[in-house]
Structure 1
Amino acid sequence: MSELHTPGESGIIHYWKIAPGEDAWQWEDCRENGFIAVGWDEMGDVSRLGKSEFESKRMALDSRYEGWNKVGLEQLWKFAHIKEGDRIVANRGTTDVLGIGTIVGPYYFVHDKDFGHRLPVKWEEIKPGKVSERGWRRTLIELDREKFERIYNAIVSPPPGENGYSKSYWVFQSNPKYYDLAGAINELTEITWAVNQYKKQIHAGGRVYLWESGKDAGILAVATVLSDPDYISDDDKDKKFIRSGEKFSEKGLQVSLHIDFVLPERIMRKDMLDHPVLRSLEVITFPNATNFAVTKEQARILNELIFALKRPIYSITQCAEDTGFDLATLERWVRAIKRKGQAVLYGPPGTGKTYLAEHLAKHLIGGEDGFEDLVQFHPAYAYEDFIQGIRPVSDENGGLKYPLVPGRFLEFCEMARSRRGTCVLIIDEIKRANLSQVFGELMYLLEYRERDTHLAGGGTLQIPENVLIIGTMNTADRSIALVDHALRRRFAFLRLQPNHDVLRKYHQNTDFSVEGLIGVLRRLNIQISDSHYEVGISFFLREDLAEEIEDIWKMEIEPYLDEYFFDRPEKAEDFWWDKVGREILA
């Protein structure tokens, strides 16, 4: 990333408290339509007035309107000159914070509306909170950064004990002389990290910005802390990225990290030095450490920088071209996913369900700052893994403690709230887990997406509007008929069958002629005589199929047929390689 956006012409972020009308009467309109407004409508549009012209107009109107005065009207002048990038706290009286947002454009005036002086605002998704600010009696007050951060932290962070954990933010630093961070995050999904500072403050559930020092110092990835600091055994997968064994010979406290997002281009330290908030990051002001605390406001800005990177546009036409599926069918499926909010791609083995889900997700997030993630369900997968649950960890005295830790879906939703674009969660093999147990309260929210609900372990959950879910289900593993009615009602079900045109398209530019293979597959699926168990085409989507086809057939297709025709072995034998190989290769 070559440069960072510096808010305002002066490069300084200002912070403001603005009341949306007496007793916040206009707040719902402000929140729903993305603006903040003040009165004194009789002044009209002040965007083109100089200060002397403004004062002349004010003085002419002072005597006509009771309660008007220079101090009051000075608030309108300040309001009209608030800059893009400035931060806003919307309040009701001296005790209620209704919203927090960022100015995203210049002042404008609406002639036919009450409170027509307006600023466009991107409001954050937060719940109202309580403060005690006796001085908040005027419509507009400028706040200093420290006060804003105290308010922001109090509102955004759950109070201790409400959820059992409090969200924290950290920078973890590595030295390229000793560890290949870039290599690790591009190959592994989980890594371990030393905890040398903040040993009592770092806990499971915290968000970490992974930083590499050196001449190209900056942030490479975002991760989630999976465990409290403990003495963790070495992972052989992680060892290959260690460049100095001597540096890692002493074993101390470590945490496990899940790599959530790898930046396509690192955020450089040199670009942060000019940013009014990020230049005070601990890793910049005191870099000689491993672990650094990050304030909520710094984290918010980092999230905006990291997740504002727009994904390339991936059209549905290109999706059809790449997958081989019919364009009209894909368009219908995309409409269904958007309408319902969640869908399941189901079909027999080898029909490309996961492959198609990933391409549909790529289309849905294209052109915006959204993202996709994939989680695979299995019989041991539980509510505690997906939503939230307590996880035993060792403390520094050798005892056990049981913090409440967010699961994959809560983490996904939190990341999605920091984006404007669509975010897609792919749940692979969705029916292999006990969905009623894994989803818990989510079953209710999938049907009533605009609502929120209390979680069993504390706190609340609401699915962000920009979240879509795509599941995949192998009908040979568990038939569609076994899907309970509650799940069927909440998801759109999109059926995939073996599509031989996809196979033809894939091998247009390879040296393998697929017509013989397609003929055998058609006869085989007639013998199977059950659409849930047909043999699909994804086994054969390989550029080197000519060299691999015999091994694929003997080691993957024949064992599947032996299992399916266990009571009719002669039918399986009819399709052994020795009998069909010549036809396939013809």
Structure 2
Amino acid sequence: MPTKHYFTHDTFTLLRILHKEKSVDVYLANSDAFCGSVQDPFQDVFQEVAQKLPRSLKKLLITEKDVFCRTHDAQHILDFYWGAFTFRSGAFSGAKLFMWINHHMLQFGLCSGPVHKDKPWLQTQNNISIPKVSADEWLQDKRNNMEFSTTLTKDEVLSFKREQFVAFVVSTFEKIYTRLSIFDETTHTPRKNIHYPIKKCAADTHISYKKISMWLRAIRHKKHAIIYGPPGTGKTYLAERLAQVILNEKTGISTTVQFHSSYSYEDFIQGLRPQEDGSYRITNGTFLRFCEQAKQQDAPSVLIIDEINRAAIDRVFGELMYLLEYRDRSITLLSGETFSIPPQVHIIGTMNTADKSIAILDYALRRRFAFIPLYPDYSLIQKFSYDKKCNIKALTSTLQSLNNEISDQNFQIGTSFFLTADLADHIENIWRFQIEPYIEEYFFNELHRVERYRWNKICKKITQI
């Protein structure tokens, strides 16, 4: 039956004895107790950490051999115990994820200095504090004994239960690797985004420069925005282009996630997730992982949430609702960590009003976002460049007539269905298999209103040049 904690008061008592008198006689007199209270629990926790590391990180590490230190030889006794996983190759070759414990503290993290079994670098840390450095500095000069680490006092170590302690170590190793992995492995500098000015965005979206500028001001001011409108209006396309403008020539990052009915708080923020060995551990969700990467960049970053209203937003966001309104504050997560949204993070959501109108959204959610409307713009069909001729005027008038029949602008059909260069070759399939099923569903109890918009009724008008 495993004990409730890995380390006990006996662990630190034995290490204090060795710290006071580093002699072979003292060690041999306490060797059984040392193995039972220091060495064995340390190796147990480190091996369990190895099992629970994310596969993407574990495959880069040597975790099977030469992991732990030798406790003594004929010349000297160690008054601490350590273990380290070495990176196999690549930009982090020679770096190590380490953990060590002495009579008053435990420390774990990543170091770039050498680890020799007979002369561990960790001996120098008992009384010396190594200054923290940026990931970029660390990657550029591995000759220095640099580190990213977390230090726990004796009391903090003793307060952790077994599962909590392993989860904390694993999540710290994962965060450190995430922080370093966003740097280019060749140049060791953050990647820059392409030059994408507002003028280019306006040209690509066929939306006026003035309107794009106004929307960007709203996004930058509020930090959170939702582009809403009926299907086929290009909401996702616009969100991606606005994100490009925000990232313009800087080192920020952009990620897209799509919500759905099963999307949960655990997926987005943090929660207990099953592991390959059948156990569970606290794992960061999409948003926390994004923020961890974004805060390493001194530039705006954008998270795009596609179909944001497909999930139960209040449940998925949880305490994030508080932080969306109070950006300068923090919350305590399930893991016990303190979290706040980095100031450079922007959120752009897209919302299909055919699924849910903004009128029925929770007011608490509505006041936390800027809402950008995007309704059918028939001029886009006129401006688009097609490979073959098609009766664009007839198509436009037919679409306008159909949308007037629908009347509710939240359910009208957008123009992006028809913004394809080879429209003449695919217009029949688009209308039969995308437009007709949609209007059949909308007019499910008035199917007679659909009949005049069947393909066989409109095809001659649209295809006739």
1:496 to 360, 364, 374: 374
Q: Distance in 2 between matches of 1:205 and 1:582?
A: 61
Shift of 1:267: 3.8
The residue correspondences of 1:459-470 to structure 2 (distance < 5 A) are 459-470=337-348
Contact 2:386/2:421 (<8 A) preserved? no
Q: How many residues align?
A: 322
Find 2:443's aligned residue among 565, 568, 572.
565
Cα distance between partner residues in 2 of 1:206 and 1:477 = 40
CA distance in 2, matches of 1:410, 1:309: 21
Report whether the alignment pairs 1:384 with 2:266: yes
Offset from partner CA, 1:314-334 (integer Å, 9 cap, x none): 011110000111211111100
Match of 1:364 in 2: 246
- Residues in 2 aligned to 1:510 and 1:328: alpha-carbon distance in whole angstroms: 32
Are the structure 2 counterparts of residues 167 and 318 from structure 1 closer, same or farther at C-alpha, using a change threshold of 3 Å?
A: farther
C-alpha separation between the residues in 1 aligned to 2:191 and 2:392? 41
Quick one: structure 1 residues 414 and 565, their matched pair in 2 at CA, closer, same or farther if it must change by over 3 Å?
same
For residue 167 of structure 2, give the secondary structure of its aligned residue in structure 1.
Answer: coil
Paired position in structure 2 for 1:154: 150
Higher strand proportion, which one? Answer: 1
Residues 74-93 of structure 1: matches in 2 within 5 Å?
A: none
1:334 and 2:216 matched: yes
Give the structure 2 partner of residue 165 of structure 1.
168
When residues 167 and 360 of structure 1 are mapped into structure 2, their CA distance, relative to the original with a 3 A threshold, is farther
Which residue of 308, 318, 323 maps to 2:205? Answer: 323
Q: Following TM superposition, by how much is the alpha carbon of 1:370 offset from its aligned partner in structure 2, in angstroms?
A: 0.9
Residue 205 to residue 479, structure 1, CA distance change in 2 (3 Å)? same
Shift in CA distance, 326/163, structure 1 to aligned 2, threshold 3 Å: farther
- For residues 435 and 389 of structure 2, what CA distance do their matches in structure 1 show? 22
Range with greater deviation from structure 2 (540-549 or 456-465): 456-465
TM norm structure 1: 0.51
Preserved CA contact (<8 Å) 2:168 2:335: no
Residue deviations 1:352-377, cap 9 Å, x none?
00010001011110110012110000
Secondary structure class of the residue paired with 2:367: helix
CA distance in 2, matches of 1:417, 1:535: 39
Give the counterpart of 1:313 among 188, 192, 195. Answer: 195
Residues 1:312 and 1:418: Cα distance change in structure 2 (over 3 Å) = same
Where 2:453 maps in the other structure, the secondary structure is coil
* Distance (Å, rounded) in 2 between the aligned partners of 1:472 and 1:163: 38
* Secondary structure, aligned partner of 1:391: strand
What amino acid is aligned across from residue 153 of structure 1 in structure 2?
S
* C-alpha displacement of 1:206: 7.8
Partner of 2:405: 527
Partner Cα separation in structure 2 for residue 425 and residue 503 of structure 1: 30
Counterpart CA distance in 2 for 1:374 and 1:456 is 25
Pairing 1:211-250 to 2, within 5 Å after superposition: none
Contact 1:431 1:478 (8 Å CA) reproduced: yes
TM-score normalised by length of structure 2: 0.64
Identity of aligned residues (%): 43
1:550-582 Cα distance to aligned partner (Å, 9 max, x none) = 011000000001111111111111100111112
Question: Residue 65 of structure 1 corresponds to which residue in structure 2?
Answer: none
Q: CA deviation at 1:438?
A: 0.5
The RMSD of aligned alpha carbons is 3.0
Alpha-carbon distance change, 366 to 487 in structure 1, aligned in 2, over 3 angstroms:
same
Q: 1:518 aligns with which of 396, 405, 422?
A: 396
Cα pair distance change 1:146/1:444, threshold 3 Å: farther
Q: Which structure shows the higher helix fraction?
A: 2
1-structure distance, mates of 2:328, 2:306: 25
Residue 402 of structure 2 contacts residue 453 of structure 2 at CA under 8 Å; is this kept in 1?
yes
1:420 equivalenced with 2:311 (yes/no):
no
* Paired amino acid for 1:166: V
Q: CA deviation at 1:509?
A: 6.2
Contact persistence 1:162–1:459 (CA under 8 A): no
Q: 1:163 to 1:444 in 2, by over 3 A?
A: farther
Distance of 1:429 and 1:552 partners within structure 2 = 22
Counterparts of 1:470 and 1:432, CA distance in 2: 15
Offset from partner CA, 1:203-243 (integer Å, 9 cap, x none): 9778479xxxxxxxxxxx95xxxxxxxxxxxxxxxxxxxxx
1:373 has 2:259 as partner: no
Determine whether 1:430 maps to 2:312: no
State the alpha-carbon separation in 1 of the partners of residues 442 and 216 from structure 2: 34
What is the CA–CA distance in structure 1 between the aligned matches of 2:444 and 2:395, rounded to whole Å? Answer: 24
C-alpha separation in 2, matches of 1:165 and 1:516: 63
Structure 2: stretches of 5+ with no match in the other structure: 1-124, 130-140
Shift of the 510–466 alpha-carbon distance from structure 1 to 2, 3 Å rule, reads farther
Question: Shift of the alpha carbon at 1:387?
Answer: 0.3
Distance 1:371 1:135 in 2: 36
- The change in CA–CA distance for 1:515 and 1:167 in structure 2 (over 3 A counts) is farther
Q: Deviations over 1:412-444 (max 9, x none)?
A: 000101111111000001011111110011100
The change in CA–CA distance for 1:500 and 1:401 in structure 2 (over 3 A counts) is: same
